[in-house]
Amino acid sequence: MKNYDDVIIIGGGPTGLFASFYAGLRDMTVKIIEAKSTLGGKVHVYPEKLIWDIGGQTPILGADFIRQTIKQGLTFDPTVCCEEEVLSIRKEAQHFIVTTNRTAHYSKAVIITAGYGIIQPKSIGLEGEERFKKTNLFYTVPSIQQFAGQRVLLSGGGQSAVDWANTLLHVTDDVTVVYRRQEMSGHEQEIQQLMNSKATVLLNTSIQQLQGEECITSVVVEGEQTKQRQVIETDAVIINHGYERNLKLLEDSNLHLKMHEDYGILGNVFGETSEPGIFAAGDALNYEGKLHLIVGCYQDAVHAVNSAKQYIDPLSEKHEMVSSHNKKLKEKNEKIYATLQ
């Protein structure tokens, strides 16, 4: 006999984890399916960056934010399936079959919180790339201290690259940033901070060659217009060119989900999509007035859960009561209060 969860949440990042928490408040059985080996989503890309723009939260390191978010998301003991890539979502009568690379899962509703899809850092595509990944070519930065006192070359000019460059300057004075365009696209204040720092910034410049045997010892860069080349000696290279996105789960499904003209699933503020029973939240969802910040994903998650609850049980309350009056939290509150005495 098939076991149908109330809701399957596809994606275990901040949006999916908060949706899991809120669905638990609403007495829904939850299963989280995550393609990666651990929960936390894209925040794993910047574990040592400070996150400032979360309401009621002082600046917090990405790693600490992940830890707290996972703890909250697992409050009501959802089933968690990591290292399962969703291949398709199919509707069968009033239920859904979510097929992964391992098995099939069944639910009454689905909430897609997979961001822009399964993400992988964009490859630089140069000879030696795979070999150097094992030594000193990086696409993510798990620890800023590993670059202390080193000569670091960073390629990229978006907000993430600008952040990393400014952060690296706390542990080393030798940072070179190369970017193929004339202007960087990060926040103006942080770009100005970088331009006025000790870092060397080479605009209209791109990496042409990685040199070295086991490790990269130097990099050949070239001016986009001048075509002039120079060799820069370095101890480490960081590539920040954005991400490749995979939305295969939507392409191979029998659903008729409308997509936004820019990106993401087209929906509304309540997380509803063009397919009844399929809801979306966070970066996976796009609508007029969408807030593309972590704080916005929380409201998206709550709306999607409430809509899913109403879809499953039209007689249920449209909204859950505030946490201070929720019976499910009474016992947990008493335990916490006991530790404070």
Looking at the predicted structure, is the pLDDT value of residue 170 above 80? yes
Cα dist from 90 to 107, 253, 277, whole Å: 11, 6, 11
Tokens 């191979």 correspond to: 252
Query: What's the pLDDT score for residue 173?
Result: 94
* Tens-digit pLDDT profile for residues 54-107: 888 888 988 999 999 999 999 999 999 999 999 889 998 889 999 999 999 999
Query: What's the pLDDT score for residue 280?
Result: 96
Q: Where in the chain is the domain with CATH 3.50.50.60?
A: 5-119+244-340, 124-241
Tokens 């087209």 correspond to: 266
In this prediction, what percent of the chain has a pLDDT beyond 90?
65
Distance CA 91, CA 255 (A): 7
155: β partners: 178, 239
Query: What's the pLDDT score for residue 263?
Result: 77
* Tens-digit pLDDT profile for residues 117-168: 656 778 899 999 999 999 999 998 878 899 999 999 999 999 889 988 999 9
Report, at the CATH architecture level, how domain 124-241 is classified.
3-Layer(bba) Sandwich (3.50)
Q: What is the DSSP letter of 182?
A: S
Work out the mean pLDDT of the chain and round it to a whole number.
90
Annotated binding site for FAD: 15, 34, 42, 46, 86, 119, 283, 324
pTM of the model: 0.76
Query: What's the pLDDT score for residue 341?
Result: 66
Query: What's the pLDDT score for residue 121?
Result: 79
Helix (H, G, I), strand (E, B) or coil at 271: coil
Distance CA 8, CA 23 (A): 10
Residue 69: its H or E element: helix 62-73
121 or 308: whose pLDDT is higher?
308
Confidence at 198, pLDDT banded by 50, 70, 90: very high
Annotated binding site: 15, 34, 42, 46, 86, 119, 283, 324
**Across residues 317-338, what is the average pLDDT?**
77
* Tens-digit pLDDT profile for residues 233-253: 999 999 999 877 666 666 666
Query: Are 239 and 216 contacting, i.e. CB atoms less than 8 angstroms apart?
Result: no
Question: CATH says 5-119+244-340 is which class?
Answer: alpha beta
Q: Are strands 218-223 and 60-61 parallel, antiparallel or unpaired?
A: unpaired
Query: What's the pLDDT score for residue 57?
Result: 86
* Tens-digit pLDDT profile for residues 211-229: 999 999 999 999 999 999 9
211: β partners: 218
Confidence at 293, pLDDT banded by 50, 70, 90: confident
Looking at the predicted structure, is the pLDDT value of residue 270 above 80? yes
Query: Are 91 and 254 contacting, i.e. CB atoms less than 8 angstroms apart?
Result: yes
